[in-house]
Amino acid sequence: MALNFDFFKTKDSEICIKNYILNKTKYTFQFSILIIALLFFVMLNISLGSVSIPFKEVFMILTGNDVTSNFKFIILNLRVPKALTAIMVGSGLSVSGLLMQTLFRNPLAGPFVLGISSGASLGVAILILGSSLFGFSAFAVSNYSTAIASSFGAFSVLLAVMIVAQKVKNTMSILIIGLMFGSLTTAIISILAYFSSAEELQQYMFWSFGNLGNLSWNELTLFFIVYIIAISSIIFIIKPLNSLLLGENYAQSLGVNIKKTRNITLFITAMLTGVITAFSGPIAFVGLAVPHLAKLVFNSSNHKTLLPATAIIGAIVMLFSDIIAQLPNSAFTLPINAITSFFGAPIVIWLLIRKSKIVL
Protein backbone atom coordinates (compact mmCIF):
# COMPACT_ATOMS: atom_id res chain seq x y z
CA MET A 1 0.00 0.00 0.00
CA ALA A 2 1.48 3.25 -1.14
CA LEU A 3 0.33 5.31 1.81
CA ASN A 4 2.24 3.27 4.36
CA PHE A 5 4.79 5.30 6.21
CA ASP A 6 7.00 2.75 7.86
CA PHE A 7 10.08 3.34 9.94
CA PHE A 8 12.65 2.85 7.18
CA LYS A 9 11.07 5.30 4.86
CA THR A 10 11.02 7.99 7.53
CA LYS A 11 14.70 7.38 8.07
CA ASP A 12 15.28 7.63 4.33
CA SER A 13 13.56 10.96 4.09
CA GLU A 14 15.57 12.22 7.05
CA ILE A 15 18.78 11.39 5.23
CA CYS A 16 17.41 13.18 2.19
CA ILE A 17 16.65 16.31 4.18
CA LYS A 18 20.19 16.24 5.58
CA ASN A 19 21.55 15.94 2.03
CA TYR A 20 19.43 18.85 1.03
CA ILE A 21 20.75 21.07 3.80
CA LEU A 22 24.26 19.95 2.89
CA ASN A 23 23.67 20.99 -0.70
CA LYS A 24 22.49 24.40 0.44
CA THR A 25 25.59 25.05 2.52
CA LYS A 26 27.70 23.85 -0.37
CA TYR A 27 26.22 26.57 -2.53
CA THR A 28 27.04 29.25 0.04
CA PHE A 29 30.59 27.93 -0.04
CA GLN A 30 30.71 28.08 -3.84
CA PHE A 31 29.22 31.54 -3.90
CA SER A 32 31.71 32.83 -1.32
CA ILE A 33 34.58 31.49 -3.42
CA LEU A 34 33.14 33.12 -6.52
CA ILE A 35 32.71 36.49 -4.85
CA ILE A 36 36.25 36.41 -3.46
CA ALA A 37 37.51 35.45 -6.93
CA LEU A 38 35.52 38.30 -8.44
CA LEU A 39 37.01 40.84 -6.02
CA PHE A 40 40.49 39.45 -6.61
CA PHE A 41 40.14 39.70 -10.38
CA VAL A 42 38.74 43.23 -10.15
CA MET A 43 41.84 44.29 -8.17
CA LEU A 44 44.16 42.38 -10.50
CA ASN A 45 42.46 43.84 -13.55
CA ILE A 46 42.87 47.37 -12.22
CA SER A 47 46.47 46.93 -11.15
CA LEU A 48 47.73 45.25 -14.34
CA GLY A 49 48.08 46.92 -17.70
CA SER A 50 50.66 48.71 -19.79
CA VAL A 51 51.82 50.20 -16.49
CA SER A 52 51.80 47.89 -13.51
CA ILE A 53 50.41 49.49 -10.36
CA PRO A 54 50.98 47.79 -6.99
CA PHE A 55 47.92 46.35 -5.22
CA LYS A 56 48.57 48.56 -2.21
CA GLU A 57 48.52 51.71 -4.32
CA VAL A 58 45.33 50.60 -6.10
CA PHE A 59 43.66 49.99 -2.77
CA MET A 60 44.75 53.36 -1.39
CA ILE A 61 43.46 55.25 -4.44
CA LEU A 62 40.15 53.36 -4.53
CA THR A 63 39.51 54.07 -0.87
CA GLY A 64 40.44 57.72 -1.43
CA ASN A 65 43.41 57.67 0.90
CA ASP A 66 46.05 58.58 -1.60
CA VAL A 67 45.18 61.78 -3.45
CA THR A 68 48.66 62.64 -4.63
CA SER A 69 49.56 59.48 -6.52
CA ASN A 70 50.61 59.73 -10.17
CA PHE A 71 48.52 56.67 -10.89
CA LYS A 72 45.30 58.32 -9.78
CA PHE A 73 44.25 59.46 -13.26
CA ILE A 74 45.02 56.11 -14.86
CA ILE A 75 43.08 54.23 -12.24
CA LEU A 76 40.03 56.43 -11.89
CA ASN A 77 39.55 57.37 -15.53
CA LEU A 78 40.87 54.37 -17.43
CA ARG A 79 41.16 51.23 -15.36
CA VAL A 80 38.06 51.46 -13.16
CA PRO A 81 35.69 52.22 -16.07
CA LYS A 82 37.26 49.36 -18.00
CA ALA A 83 36.83 46.93 -15.08
CA LEU A 84 33.21 48.01 -14.64
CA THR A 85 32.62 47.55 -18.38
CA ALA A 86 34.14 44.09 -18.20
CA ILE A 87 31.84 43.15 -15.31
CA MET A 88 28.70 44.38 -17.07
CA VAL A 89 29.66 42.88 -20.44
CA GLY A 90 30.57 39.51 -18.96
CA SER A 91 27.60 39.16 -16.66
CA GLY A 92 25.12 40.65 -19.16
CA LEU A 93 26.07 38.37 -22.04
CA SER A 94 26.19 35.30 -19.80
CA VAL A 95 22.76 35.99 -18.30
CA SER A 96 21.36 36.56 -21.81
CA GLY A 97 22.77 33.21 -22.84
CA LEU A 98 21.20 31.46 -19.86
CA LEU A 99 17.80 33.03 -20.56
CA MET A 100 17.97 32.01 -24.22
CA GLN A 101 18.96 28.45 -23.35
CA THR A 102 16.03 28.07 -20.98
CA LEU A 103 13.54 29.81 -23.24
CA PHE A 104 14.43 27.65 -26.22
CA ARG A 105 15.21 24.62 -24.08
CA ASN A 106 18.28 24.25 -26.22
CA PRO A 107 21.79 24.19 -24.75
CA LEU A 108 23.12 25.69 -27.99
CA ALA A 109 21.15 28.90 -27.71
CA GLY A 110 22.84 32.19 -26.94
CA PRO A 111 22.58 35.86 -27.87
CA PHE A 112 24.53 35.17 -31.05
CA VAL A 113 22.32 32.35 -32.17
CA LEU A 114 19.18 34.49 -32.18
CA GLY A 115 20.79 36.88 -34.63
CA ILE A 116 20.63 39.78 -32.17
CA SER A 117 24.38 40.28 -32.13
CA SER A 118 24.48 39.99 -35.90
CA GLY A 119 21.82 42.67 -36.03
CA ALA A 120 23.97 44.93 -33.89
CA SER A 121 26.92 44.23 -36.17
CA LEU A 122 24.79 45.07 -39.18
CA GLY A 123 23.86 48.40 -37.67
CA VAL A 124 27.50 49.29 -37.09
CA ALA A 125 28.51 47.94 -40.50
CA ILE A 126 25.98 50.17 -42.21
CA LEU A 127 27.30 53.12 -40.22
CA ILE A 128 31.00 52.50 -40.84
CA LEU A 129 31.12 50.58 -44.11
CA GLY A 130 28.09 52.14 -45.70
CA SER A 131 29.11 55.72 -45.00
CA SER A 132 30.73 56.26 -48.40
CA LEU A 133 28.20 54.05 -50.17
CA PHE A 134 25.20 55.98 -48.83
CA GLY A 135 27.05 59.26 -48.63
CA PHE A 136 26.73 60.18 -44.99
CA SER A 137 30.44 60.35 -44.31
CA ALA A 138 29.76 63.75 -42.78
CA PHE A 139 28.56 61.97 -39.63
CA ALA A 140 31.47 61.44 -37.37
CA VAL A 141 31.74 57.81 -36.33
CA SER A 142 31.83 58.25 -32.58
CA ASN A 143 31.14 55.98 -29.63
CA TYR A 144 27.60 57.29 -29.43
CA SER A 145 26.76 56.91 -33.10
CA THR A 146 28.14 53.36 -33.05
CA ALA A 147 26.10 52.67 -29.95
CA ILE A 148 22.92 54.00 -31.54
CA ALA A 149 23.54 52.13 -34.80
CA SER A 150 24.27 48.93 -32.93
CA SER A 151 21.23 49.13 -30.64
CA PHE A 152 19.07 49.97 -33.62
CA GLY A 153 20.38 46.93 -35.48
CA ALA A 154 19.90 44.66 -32.48
CA PHE A 155 16.33 45.83 -31.94
CA SER A 156 15.42 45.58 -35.64
CA VAL A 157 16.49 41.96 -35.79
CA LEU A 158 14.80 41.24 -32.48
CA LEU A 159 11.61 42.89 -33.71
CA ALA A 160 11.73 40.79 -36.87
CA VAL A 161 12.28 37.63 -34.81
CA MET A 162 9.45 38.56 -32.44
CA ILE A 163 7.00 39.28 -35.25
CA VAL A 164 7.79 35.90 -36.74
CA ALA A 165 7.61 34.36 -33.26
CA GLN A 166 3.99 35.52 -32.91
CA LYS A 167 3.09 33.43 -35.94
CA VAL A 168 5.26 30.44 -35.18
CA LYS A 169 4.35 28.48 -32.08
CA ASN A 170 7.28 26.11 -32.08
CA THR A 171 10.25 27.57 -30.18
CA MET A 172 12.68 25.42 -32.14
CA SER A 173 11.50 27.13 -35.34
CA ILE A 174 12.17 30.51 -33.75
CA LEU A 175 15.71 29.42 -33.03
CA ILE A 176 16.25 28.44 -36.66
CA ILE A 177 14.60 31.66 -37.84
CA GLY A 178 17.05 33.55 -35.59
CA LEU A 179 19.94 31.69 -37.19
CA MET A 180 18.60 32.57 -40.64
CA PHE A 181 18.38 36.24 -39.70
CA GLY A 182 21.98 35.95 -38.53
CA SER A 183 23.07 34.52 -41.87
CA LEU A 184 21.15 37.19 -43.70
CA THR A 185 22.82 40.04 -41.80
CA THR A 186 26.26 38.43 -42.24
CA ALA A 187 25.61 38.31 -45.97
CA ILE A 188 24.66 41.98 -46.06
CA ILE A 189 27.80 42.87 -44.09
CA SER A 190 29.93 40.93 -46.60
CA ILE A 191 28.39 42.84 -49.48
CA LEU A 192 28.93 46.15 -47.70
CA ALA A 193 32.53 45.15 -46.95
CA TYR A 194 33.13 44.35 -50.61
CA PHE A 195 32.21 47.88 -51.63
CA SER A 196 33.99 49.80 -48.88
CA SER A 197 37.44 51.27 -48.62
CA ALA A 198 40.40 49.69 -46.80
CA GLU A 199 40.22 52.41 -44.18
CA GLU A 200 36.55 51.75 -43.41
CA LEU A 201 37.14 48.03 -43.38
CA GLN A 202 39.91 48.47 -40.85
CA GLN A 203 37.68 50.62 -38.66
CA TYR A 204 34.94 48.01 -38.78
CA MET A 205 37.39 45.21 -38.10
CA PHE A 206 38.67 47.00 -35.01
CA TRP A 207 35.13 47.43 -33.73
CA SER A 208 34.43 43.75 -34.33
CA PHE A 209 37.50 42.76 -32.28
CA GLY A 210 35.71 44.05 -29.23
CA ASN A 211 36.98 46.70 -26.86
CA LEU A 212 36.27 47.19 -23.19
CA GLY A 213 38.44 50.23 -22.54
CA ASN A 214 36.73 52.75 -24.73
CA LEU A 215 34.13 54.22 -22.44
CA SER A 216 34.02 57.53 -20.63
CA TRP A 217 32.17 57.88 -17.33
CA ASN A 218 29.19 59.42 -19.17
CA GLU A 219 28.91 56.51 -21.56
CA LEU A 220 29.38 54.13 -18.69
CA THR A 221 26.46 55.72 -16.82
CA LEU A 222 24.18 55.21 -19.83
CA PHE A 223 25.40 51.63 -20.17
CA PHE A 224 24.77 51.06 -16.46
CA ILE A 225 21.20 52.40 -16.59
CA VAL A 226 20.20 50.12 -19.49
CA TYR A 227 22.00 47.19 -17.85
CA ILE A 228 20.18 47.68 -14.53
CA ILE A 229 16.78 48.03 -16.21
CA ALA A 230 17.32 44.81 -18.15
CA ILE A 231 18.73 42.83 -15.23
CA SER A 232 16.02 43.93 -12.82
CA SER A 233 13.32 42.98 -15.36
CA ILE A 234 14.33 39.38 -14.71
CA ILE A 235 12.21 39.43 -11.54
CA PHE A 236 9.12 39.26 -13.78
CA ILE A 237 10.20 35.94 -15.24
CA ILE A 238 12.19 34.27 -12.47
CA LYS A 239 9.32 31.92 -11.57
CA PRO A 240 8.23 31.00 -15.09
CA LEU A 241 11.86 30.27 -16.04
CA ASN A 242 12.05 27.29 -13.70
CA SER A 243 8.73 25.87 -14.86
CA LEU A 244 9.86 26.24 -18.48
CA LEU A 245 12.48 23.61 -17.66
CA LEU A 246 9.59 21.12 -17.63
CA GLY A 247 8.64 22.02 -21.19
CA GLU A 248 5.92 24.31 -22.50
CA ASN A 249 2.95 22.02 -21.79
CA TYR A 250 3.80 21.50 -18.13
CA ALA A 251 4.66 25.19 -17.72
CA GLN A 252 1.30 26.18 -19.13
CA SER A 253 -0.51 23.77 -16.81
CA LEU A 254 1.28 25.52 -13.93
CA GLY A 255 -0.39 28.77 -14.95
CA VAL A 256 2.58 30.26 -16.79
CA ASN A 257 1.70 32.71 -19.55
CA ILE A 258 4.06 31.36 -22.21
CA LYS A 259 3.73 34.20 -24.68
CA LYS A 260 4.29 36.92 -22.09
CA THR A 261 7.27 35.09 -20.61
CA ARG A 262 8.74 34.62 -24.06
CA ASN A 263 8.34 38.27 -24.99
CA ILE A 264 9.83 39.57 -21.73
CA THR A 265 12.77 37.19 -22.06
CA LEU A 266 13.44 38.21 -25.65
CA PHE A 267 13.19 41.87 -24.67
CA ILE A 268 15.68 41.53 -21.81
CA THR A 269 18.11 39.66 -24.03
CA ALA A 270 17.86 42.23 -26.79
CA MET A 271 18.42 45.12 -24.38
CA LEU A 272 21.47 43.49 -22.83
CA THR A 273 22.99 42.20 -26.07
CA GLY A 274 22.18 45.44 -27.87
CA VAL A 275 23.76 47.75 -25.33
CA ILE A 276 26.78 45.50 -24.76
CA THR A 277 27.50 45.07 -28.45
CA ALA A 278 26.98 48.79 -28.88
CA PHE A 279 29.60 49.81 -26.35
CA SER A 280 32.14 47.02 -26.57
CA GLY A 281 31.68 45.25 -29.88
CA PRO A 282 30.38 41.78 -30.70
CA ILE A 283 31.94 39.59 -28.01
CA ALA A 284 31.51 35.95 -28.85
CA PHE A 285 31.66 32.80 -26.77
CA VAL A 286 30.79 34.22 -23.32
CA GLY A 287 27.02 34.10 -23.81
CA LEU A 288 27.01 30.47 -24.89
CA ALA A 289 29.74 29.04 -22.68
CA VAL A 290 29.44 30.72 -19.29
CA PRO A 291 25.95 29.34 -18.53
CA HIS A 292 27.36 25.85 -19.10
CA LEU A 293 30.32 26.59 -16.83
CA ALA A 294 27.85 27.68 -14.14
CA LYS A 295 25.70 24.58 -14.65
CA LEU A 296 28.75 22.34 -14.38
CA VAL A 297 30.18 24.08 -11.32
CA PHE A 298 26.89 24.26 -9.42
CA ASN A 299 25.43 21.05 -10.84
CA SER A 300 22.03 22.71 -10.82
CA SER A 301 19.37 23.96 -13.20
CA ASN A 302 17.52 26.09 -10.68
CA HIS A 303 17.52 29.69 -11.88
CA LYS A 304 17.63 31.08 -8.37
CA THR A 305 21.11 29.58 -8.15
CA LEU A 306 22.11 29.76 -11.80
CA LEU A 307 21.29 33.40 -12.53
CA PRO A 308 23.64 34.89 -9.90
CA ALA A 309 26.24 32.18 -10.54
CA THR A 310 26.21 32.83 -14.29
CA ALA A 311 26.47 36.57 -13.76
CA ILE A 312 29.47 36.31 -11.41
CA ILE A 313 31.31 33.71 -13.51
CA GLY A 314 30.65 35.81 -16.62
CA ALA A 315 32.16 38.85 -14.93
CA ILE A 316 35.22 36.87 -13.80
CA VAL A 317 35.75 35.40 -17.27
CA MET A 318 35.61 38.86 -18.83
CA LEU A 319 37.97 40.42 -16.25
CA PHE A 320 40.40 37.54 -16.73
CA SER A 321 40.24 37.76 -20.53
CA ASP A 322 40.85 41.49 -20.34
CA ILE A 323 43.96 40.99 -18.17
CA ILE A 324 45.38 38.59 -20.76
CA ALA A 325 44.39 40.84 -23.67
CA GLN A 326 46.28 43.77 -22.10
CA LEU A 327 49.51 41.76 -22.16
CA PRO A 328 50.63 43.21 -18.79
CA ASN A 329 53.60 45.58 -18.92
CA SER A 330 53.48 45.93 -22.69
CA ALA A 331 52.01 48.54 -24.97
CA PHE A 332 50.05 45.96 -26.99
CA THR A 333 46.41 45.07 -26.58
CA LEU A 334 45.08 41.93 -28.20
CA PRO A 335 41.47 41.72 -29.44
CA ILE A 336 39.34 40.78 -26.43
CA ASN A 337 37.06 38.79 -28.71
CA ALA A 338 39.88 36.44 -29.62
CA ILE A 339 40.98 35.98 -26.00
CA THR A 340 37.56 34.97 -24.66
CA SER A 341 37.31 32.16 -27.20
CA PHE A 342 40.99 31.23 -27.14
CA PHE A 343 41.02 30.53 -23.42
CA GLY A 344 37.36 29.75 -22.90
CA ALA A 345 36.75 27.13 -25.56
CA PRO A 346 39.40 24.65 -24.30
CA ILE A 347 38.05 24.98 -20.76
CA VAL A 348 34.51 24.16 -21.87
CA ILE A 349 35.74 21.27 -24.02
CA TRP A 350 37.71 19.89 -21.06
CA LEU A 351 34.75 20.22 -18.70
CA LEU A 352 32.46 18.49 -21.16
CA ILE A 353 34.83 15.61 -21.70
CA ARG A 354 35.03 15.18 -17.94
CA LYS A 355 31.30 15.44 -17.30
CA SER A 356 30.32 14.07 -20.71
CA LYS A 357 26.83 15.56 -20.72
CA ILE A 358 25.40 18.92 -21.55
CA VAL A 359 22.02 19.86 -20.13
CA LEU A 360 19.73 22.80 -19.66
Partner 1 sequence: MTKILHIENLSIGYTSKKKETLVAKQINVSINKPKLIALIGINGIGKSTLLRTISKVQPYLKGKIAIFGKNIDDYKATEFSKKISLVLTEKIPSSNLTVYEVIALGRQVYTNWIGTLSSNDKDIIKEAASIVNINHVLHDKIDELSDGQYQKVMIARALAQDTDIILLDEPTAHLDIINKVEIFKLLKDLVVNKNKTIIISSHELQLAIQTANDLWLMNKNSFIQGSKEKLIANNEIQKIFTSNNITFNKKTNQFLFDY
Considering the complex, what minimum distance in angstroms separates the CB of residue 144 from partner 1? 37
Considering the complex, what minimum distance in angstroms separates the CB of residue 234 from partner 1? 11
Choice between 3 and 163, CB closer to partner 1: 3
Considering the complex, what minimum distance in angstroms separates the CB of residue 349 from partner 1? 19
Residues near partner 1, by CB under 8 A: 1-3, 5, 9, 12-13, 16, 19-20, 23, 105, 235, 238-239, 242-243, 245-247, 249-250, 252-257, 295, 299-302, 304, 357, 359-360
Note whether 55 and 189 are within 8 A (CB). no
- Identity of residue 198: A
CA dihedral in degrees (240, 246, 248, 253; nearest 10)? -80
Choice between 242 and 340, CB closer to partner 1: 242
Considering the complex, what minimum distance in angstroms separates the CB of residue 107 from partner 1? 8
Considering the complex, what minimum distance in angstroms separates the CB of residue 226 from partner 1? 23
Q: Is 321 helix (H, G, I), strand (E, B) or coil?
A: helix
Choice between 159 and 359, CB closer to partner 1: 359
Considering the complex, what minimum distance in angstroms separates the CB of residue 313 from partner 1? 15
Choice between 181 and 298, CB closer to partner 1: 298
Task: Tell me how far apart the 2 most distant CA atoms of the chain are, in Å.
Answer: 83
Choice between 38 and 307, CB closer to partner 1: 307
Note whether 37 and 314 are within 8 A (CB). no
Considering the complex, what minimum distance in angstroms separates the CB of residue 75 from partner 1? 38
Choice between 36 and 238, CB closer to partner 1: 238
Q: Is 160 helix (H, G, I), strand (E, B) or coil?
A: helix
Note whether 346 and 220 are within 8 A (CB). no
Note whether 335 and 284 are within 8 A (CB). no
Q: At what angle do helices 55-62 and 7-47 cross, to 10 degrees?
A: 90
Distance CA 351, CA 164 (A): 36
Task: Name the DSSP class of 212.
Answer: S
Choice between 69 and 301, CB closer to partner 1: 301
- Give the sign of the dihedral formed by CA 130, CA 132, CA 134, CA 137: positive
Instruction: Give, rounded to a whole angstrom, the gap between the first and last alpha carbons of the chain.
Output: 36
